[in-house]
Chain A
Amino acid sequence: AQSVTQLGSHVSVSEGALVLLRCNYSSSVPPYLFWYVQYPNQGLQLLLKYTSAATLVKGINGFEAEFKKSETSFHLTKPSAHMSDAAEYFCAVSASNNNDMRFGAGTRLTVKP
């Protein structure tokens, strides 16, 4: 079975600073990896996904993530935080041969003015 671990349940950055949200995965088969964002009182929205093509994946709203097999990581970054980025972010993994998606516990991002 696959699983993900998100390091840090809360991350706080200043507006304009680098955003780095960490995700490590475990999977016995080639994984598909996802980052979702959840704004207050809303469902989850797909930010980006890795499906075994390019290891650097670009998503919406200026976010990107890099798949590093040697480190079993899929960290999410954004060069310059904006106030509107404040939300909860979930990393998720599914095996390439099924649709059983497992989510991390989430990281709440706060952006300070």
Chain B
Amino acid sequence: DADVTQTPRNRITKTGKRIMLECSQTKGHDRMYWYRQDPGLGLRLIYYSFDVKDINKGEISDGYSVSRQAQAKFSLSLESAIPNQTALYFCATGQTGTSGTQYFGPGTRLLVL
């Protein structure tokens, strides 16, 4: 089984809808991250969490919110989706004290019409 899982893997939604992307990990890591990937822009950090009670904004947090329900679960919400949020979204995990290495899930492809 994969260490970092994301659901759904693909999602089509309409402008204005609220959607949630979920991430779970079995690696026992304390840190979790949400990124979006756009062609030609690489990955950009949306939010990150260093433990259940710690949530931090990344480069591009506007229009997004997150919830760290447990050490193993970190969800990303789009409160009112807009077309320019169409992207590939990745969840990642990391462990404090391991030189910053992050481990990525398989991604969620989101299309906002």
Residues of A within 8 A of B (CB): 6, 9, 32, 34, 36, 42-46, 49, 51, 90, 94, 96, 99-106
- Of B33, B40, B101, B107, the residue contacting A46 (CB under 8 A) is B101
10 closest cross-chain pairs (CB), A and B: A43-B104, A51-B99, A103-B42, A94-B100, A44-B104, A103-B43, A105-B42, A32-B100, A43-B106, A106-B42
With A99-B31, A99-B94, A105-B41 already in contact, the answer to whether A42 and B100 are too (CB < 8 A) is no
Q: Which residues of A contact B64 (CB under 8 A)?
A: none
Q: How far is the CA of A98 from the CA of B35 in the complex (A)?
A: 17
* Interface of B: prevailing SS: strand
In angstroms, how far is the closest chain A Cβ from the Cβ of B110? 15
Residues of B within 8 A of A (CB): 4, 31, 33, 35, 40-45, 48, 50, 58, 90, 92, 94, 96, 99-107
With A43-B90, A44-B104, A94-B100 already in contact, the answer to whether A101 and B42 are too (CB < 8 A) is no
Q: When A and B form their complex, what is the total count of cross-chain residue pairs whose Cβ atoms lie within 8 Å?
A: 57
Cβ-defined contact, A44 with B90, below 8 A: yes
16 further A-B contacts with Cβ under 8 Å, apart from A43-B107, A101-B102, A105-B42, are: A34-B101, A36-B104, A42-B106, A42-B107, A43-B90, A43-B104, A43-B106, A44-B92, A44-B104, A49-B100, A51-B99, A99-B31, A100-B45, A101-B45, A103-B44, A106-B42
Q: Which residues of A contact B48 (CB under 8 A)?
A: 99-100
